[in-house]
Chains A and B, each alone.
Chain A
Amino acid sequence: MNGPMKYEELRQAHAGDALTTWIAGHRGLFVFCRELERSLKLMDRAVSEGNHLSTARQFQRLASITRACAVAFKVAGNMSREDYESSVVAPMVAADKSFTGLWARDHSSMLQQLRSTFAKLRGFEAERSAIKLVTTVMVKQHERVCERFAKGRPSLNAQARSGMAANDPEGYLLLRDRFGPRHVRTIDR
């Protein structure tokens, strides 16, 4: 390979539309997941400080980011099961035979923070109910996607707990070179 490839060249070389959707969709999804976690931490702080104005603001922001997560699940999974198997799983497995598509440490961290913050919101019953509602929508959307693409396979959290995912350095490097968030500076704008 002579020098860094530009994003379009990489995509044409290695990725079809479904894979591009899967990659870009997941990156966007995980931005929202990360920011949801950040918002939860800010709410934690506001509640601890007894800052009711800030707490109220965080409820609003948390709700909007949670709804966005639900939408982002739809975006990331915007392909048929057939396209997922042929255009996402196949090239990934070719590079890394242990690839399952069910990996996400950031995701687990967000869920952990959600449980932690939710437990601290005693006395905010209306807000707790509202957050519970939008969180349920988000989780259901996630379940719909998983049901379509990974029916019968272990969940993200089950994989994380069991450590069943392999860790093959060569596959990791190959995947990174082909599909990674490479070359941010060379992405065509």
Chain B
Amino acid sequence: MEIPPLMLPLGVSEEPTRHLSTDRTQALMEAIRTSAPSLIGQMKALEAILGSDAEKVGLQNKASTSSSRLDRYDWFYLVERVDDDSDLVGLVALLQTMSDYARLLTSNSILTELEEATLAEAVQSIVENYGERR
């Protein structure tokens, strides 16, 4: 079957750096820690730190596999690319997915301030975990 044009190529594209440098990781954690307590603010901070590296990483659609019938919907959530790869790819996936998420929250008054702060606190924890693994 011919591959539809919308599909992204399997695998991650050019991978010039598997990890952020220690300095950039520290800068990222500091930026997230001191950013506005909102997902939008955090994603802007993350985007600024990643800079052009974010464009060097292409995320993939997950191919359906035979290991589990449930696999076929994993692609839907764009969460598949960060389990076995670098911090950089993980952070790019976080940026792209959570930027969409932040726009969803902004366009709809879904959450209370406390609930949104809960999400922001979790993102801070997630970024700190990336630093932890170094």
Contacts of A181 in B (CB 8 A): 59, 61, 75-78, 97
Do B118 and A165 touch (CB < 8 A)? no
Q: Is A91 located at the chain interface by the 8 A CB criterion?
A: no
Nearest-neighbour CB distance to chain A for B125, whole angstroms, equals 4
- How far is B73's CA from A26's CA once the two chains are assembled, in angstroms? 11
**Contact for B115 among A32, A71, A183, CB less than 8 A:** A71
Do B69 and A31 touch (CB < 8 A)? no
Interface residues of B in 69-111 (CB under 8 A from A): 69-79, 82-83, 93-94, 96-101, 103-105, 108, 110-111
Q: Is A67 located at the chain interface by the 8 A CB criterion?
A: yes
Nearest-neighbour CB distance to chain B for A61, whole angstroms, equals 4
Contacts of B72 in A (CB 8 A): 103, 167, 172
Contacts of A27 in B (CB 8 A): 76-79, 97, 100-101
Do B104 and A24 touch (CB < 8 A)? yes
Do A169 and B100 touch (CB < 8 A)? no
> Quick one: CB contact mask for A154-188 with B, threshold 8 Å, 1 for yes?
00000110010111010011011101111111010
Nearest-neighbour CB distance to chain A for B114, whole angstroms, equals 9
Give the B interface residue count (CB, 8 A).
51
**Contact for B4 among A26, A60, A173, A184, CB less than 8 A:** A173
Contacts of A67 in B (CB 8 A): 118, 121-122
Nearest-neighbour CB distance to chain A for B91, whole angstroms, equals 12
Do B94 and A31 touch (CB < 8 A)? yes
Do A20 and B5 touch (CB < 8 A)? no
Q: Is A106 located at the chain interface by the 8 A CB criterion?
A: yes
Q: Is A48 located at the chain interface by the 8 A CB criterion?
A: no
Q: Is B10 located at the chain interface by the 8 A CB criterion?
A: no
Q: Is B41 located at the chain interface by the 8 A CB criterion?
A: no
Q: Is B58 located at the chain interface by the 8 A CB criterion?
A: yes
Q: Is B119 located at the chain interface by the 8 A CB criterion?
A: yes
**Contact for B64 among A64, A159, A165, A169, CB less than 8 A:** A169
Nearest-neighbour CB distance to chain A for B60, whole angstroms, equals 9
Contacts of B71 in A (CB 8 A): 105
Q: Give the 7 A-B CB pairs with smallest separation, nearest first.
A: A68-B122, A28-B101, A181-B78, A61-B125, A105-B70, A30-B77, A24-B104
